Chains A and B, each alone.
Chain A
Amino acid sequence: KQEVTQIPAALSVPEGENLVLNCSFTDSAIYNLQWFRQDPGKGLTSLLLIQSSQREQTSGRLNASLDKSSGRSTLYIAASQPGDSATYLCAVYTDKLIFGTGTRLQVFP
């Protein structure tokens, strides 16, 4: 059974820091992996999608990498800002989308 784990569960950093969020999954037979952002009390916004054949995807200050063989993905956020404060979730797609429990990020001025 596929399990998705995100570490750390919470992270608090000062503005301007570069940071890495981690996602690990137990079964490497995935079609793709997505990173989402969720603001408090809101739905999920898709940030990046990495297909199983890809190694990384970039969007602005965000870079997501995928190492399928080791069951790991990282989300790198460059030059963090207070507006980046949110919960970040990763999800892997096999025959359905399975989510991690998220990393709650706070960036303080």
Chain B
Amino acid sequence: DVKVTQSSRYLVKRTGEKVFLECVQDMDHENMFWYRQDPGLGLRLIYFSYDVKMKEKGDIPEGYSVSREKKERFSLILESASTNQTSMYLCASSYYNGANVLTFGAGSRLTVL
């Protein structure tokens, strides 16, 4: 079974702190994605990556950056957390085969005070 592991299930941070959300997948997937999920807004794509050291902006990249130094790891970085970044963050990965069948991690619930 493909596993996508998000290391932190629940985080509480203060406004202005730097936040790292880590995601690791163990099936050699080329593609990795970060979404945030908010009530009434659904899942929105923040950033994605098709290869190591490669990144593309999604629909709502403002306030976020990402890092992909190794194929299996995709990190989401909040340089200076704000209260409007309180959300559920979901990482996903897939093969680069056109079908783009995503496998999701369990999610990281971030609260910014």
Q: A41-B107, A89-B42, A100-B42 are in contact. Are A46 and B101 (CB under 8 A)?
A: yes
Identify which of residues 34-77 in chain A touch chain B, using a CB-to-CB cut-off of 8 Å. Answer: 34, 36, 41-46, 49, 51
A108 at the interface (CB under 8 A from B): no
CB neighbours (8 Å) of B99 from chain A are: 31-32, 49, 51, 93
Min Cβ gap B12→A in Å is 15
Q: Which residues of A contact B (CB under 8 A)?
A: 31-32, 34, 36, 41-46, 49, 51, 89, 91, 93, 96-97, 99-102
Q: How far is the CA of A100 from the CA of B101 in the complex (A)?
A: 16
Q: Could you write out 24 A-B pairs with CB less than 8 Å apart?
A: A31-B99, A31-B100, A32-B99, A32-B100, A36-B104, A42-B106, A43-B90, A43-B104, A43-B106, A44-B90, A45-B104, A46-B102, A46-B103, A49-B101, A89-B43, A91-B43, A93-B100, A96-B48, A97-B33, A97-B45, A97-B100, A97-B102, A101-B41, A101-B42
Interface residues of B in 93-113 (CB under 8 A from A): 98-107, 109
CA distance A102 to B39 in the complex (A): 10
Residues of B within 8 A of A93 (CB): 99-100
A93–B101 alpha-carbon span in the complex (Å): 9
CB of B95, distance to nearest CB on chain A (Å): 13
Closest to A95 in B: B100
